[in-house]
């Protein structure tokens, strides 16, 4: 009898803990809903000079997904669409990203604190391979930072290839 009560108690504790984790993901995702605008820099290649950009994004979140859709404009009005469609299953995130000009890239990763840390799998080689890292970080209640890091094939060092700092706004 005691063994059965222990099993029931442990099962309830595990289910409750899972519900708390899921509630935390839902709250986190929904906190990113809205319109965002800001500035940042982007490097076309790891060894190029950074270009200043201005960006506008709209994000939508459900209990299990986050969608970012936007456009960044740089030198001489050149612009590029940037977007992500990410789904969560517990603490695991998977989905797609468009922004490097190579086609739709796959992403997967996990949330750590206020950041979703993703590994990117480019559709074509970028900087000598098909792999990079992206972080979507919530900064306070009204900020978000999107950072992409790639590896310099000559030195093996990590290089920030884009960083966009966004604030809520129309």
Residues 55-111: tens digit of each pLDDT: 999 999 999 999 999 999 997 778 889 999 999 998 899 999 998 777 899 999 999
Instruction: Work out the mean pLDDT of the chain and round it to a whole number.
Output: 85
Q: Which of 12-26, 40-54, 108-122, 154-168 is least confident?
A: 12-26
Integer Cα distance of 146 and 161 in angstroms: 11
Domain 34-168 fold is: Lipocalin (2.40.128)
Torsion angles phi and psi, residue 63, rounded to 5 = -65, -25
Residue 56 is inside which H or E element, if any? strand 51-61
- DSSP label at residue 24: H
Of the candidates 128, 129, 131, the one whose C-alpha atom is nearest the C-alpha of residue 108 is 131
Q: What angle do CA 54, 46, 36 make, to 5 degrees?
A: 25
Arithmetic mean of pLDDT, 8-15: 37
User: Does residue 113 carry a pLDDT above 90?
Assistant: yes
pLDDT on residue 121: 94
Token code pair at residue 26: 């839902």
């Amino acid at each position: 009898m005691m063994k059965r009560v222990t099993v029931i108690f442990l099962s309830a504790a595990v289910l409750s803990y899972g519900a708390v984790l899921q509630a935390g993901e839902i709250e986190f995702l929904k906190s990113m809903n809205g319109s965002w605008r800001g500035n940042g820099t982007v490097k076309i290649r790891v060894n190029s000079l950074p270009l200043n950009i201005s960006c506008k994004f709209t994000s939508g979140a459900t209990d299990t997904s986050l969608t970012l859709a936007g456009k960044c404009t740089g030198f001489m009005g050149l612009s590029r669409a940037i977007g992500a469609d990410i789904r969560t299953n517990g603490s695991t995130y998977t989905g797609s990203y468009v922004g490097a000009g190579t086609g739709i890239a796959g992403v997967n990763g996990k949330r750590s604190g206020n950041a979703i840390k993703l590994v990117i799998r480019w559709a074509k080689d970028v900087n000598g391979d098909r792999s990079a890292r992206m972080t979507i970080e919530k900064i306070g209640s009204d900020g978000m930072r999107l950072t992409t890091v790639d590896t310099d094939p000559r030195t093996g060092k990590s290089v920030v290839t884009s960083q966009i700092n966004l604030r809520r706004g129309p």
